[in-house]
Chain A
Amino acid sequence: QVQLVQSGAEVRKPGASVKLSCKASGYNFINYAIHWVRQAPGQGLEWMGWISPDIGTTRYSQKFLGRLTFTRDSSANTAYMQLNSLISEDTAVYSCARGSDSAFDSWGQGTLVTVSS
């Protein structure tokens, strides 16, 4: 079955960077975009952007331009998200999701990133 497994929780100080992973299984990784969504504590869902695993095309939400980077390792069926210049407001659960014509049909379990001095 389709599965997205994310890396574990991270704690960073303000100004630092964090890189999260999302490993896919159960389907052909290069055929579906991987989207990243975050959810701050007690808040709603916020779309961050996507990467196309076949050729590495990326699209970022304007909000994160300049400090967000998506990469992928197609040989390892894994997508990565790096967020730089962290601030306390970046404290959130970050999730990857498979994108298709039927929306975001599979999600990772989420990774909590805590930004605190």
Chain B
Amino acid sequence: DIQMTQSPSSLSASVGDRVTITCRASRGFSNFLAWYQQKPGKAPNLLIYAASTLQSGVPSRFSGSGSGTDFTLTISSLQPEDVATYYCQKYDSAPYTFGQGTKLEIK
């Protein structure tokens, strides 16, 4: 099975900063890669699918890129409401593995 590894595991940044989270797969696969945002006590919320397609209603400061084994989620200008844990996920075929998560905080 393909393993998904995110880095960093946690991150502290200032409002307005550009933030980048990386997701690496143990071997390459098609671009069925998604990013989710999860706030405490809430269900995950889909941000990006197909590696770079922004889900409807998601602010344009979020973007995704990458292919093969290396994928990136970027927040162009961090806002206070972006405090959350972010997960990547491969969804091309079972098992639909998630990364371990990246906890994002405000400095």
Measured CB to CB, the residues of A under 8 A from B are: 35, 37, 44-47, 49-50, 59, 61-62, 95, 97, 99, 101-105, 107-110
How does the 8 Å CB contact mask read for B86-100 relative to A, with 1 for contact and 0 for none?
010101001111111
Q: Within residues 49 to 107 of chain B, which ones have a CB less than 8 A from any CB in chain A?
A: 49-50, 53, 55, 87, 89, 91, 94-101
* Known interface pairs A45-B44, A95-B43, A107-B44; A102-B53 also in contact (CB < 8 Å): yes
In the complex, how many angstroms separate the beta carbon of A87 from the nearest chain B beta carbon?
21
In the complex, how many angstroms separate the beta carbon of B39 from the nearest chain A beta carbon?
12
Of B43, B46, B50, B100, the contact of A44 (CB 8 Å cutoff): B100
Which chain B residue has the least Cβ–Cβ distance from A6?
Answer: B43
Q: Which chain A positions have C-beta within 8 A of B23?
A: none
Measured CB to CB, the residues of B under 8 A from A are: 32, 34, 36, 38, 43-46, 49-50, 53, 55, 87, 89, 91, 94-101
* Known interface pairs A44-B100, A61-B95; A102-B55 also in contact (CB < 8 Å): yes
- With most chain A CB atoms within 10 A of its CB, the pick from B50, B53, B98 is B98
Which chain B residue has the least Cβ–Cβ distance from A107?
Answer: B43
Having A44-B99, A107-B44, one finds 10 other A-B pairs with CB under 8 Å, namely A44-B101, A45-B38, A45-B98, A46-B98, A47-B98, A61-B94, A99-B91, A102-B49, A104-B91, A109-B43
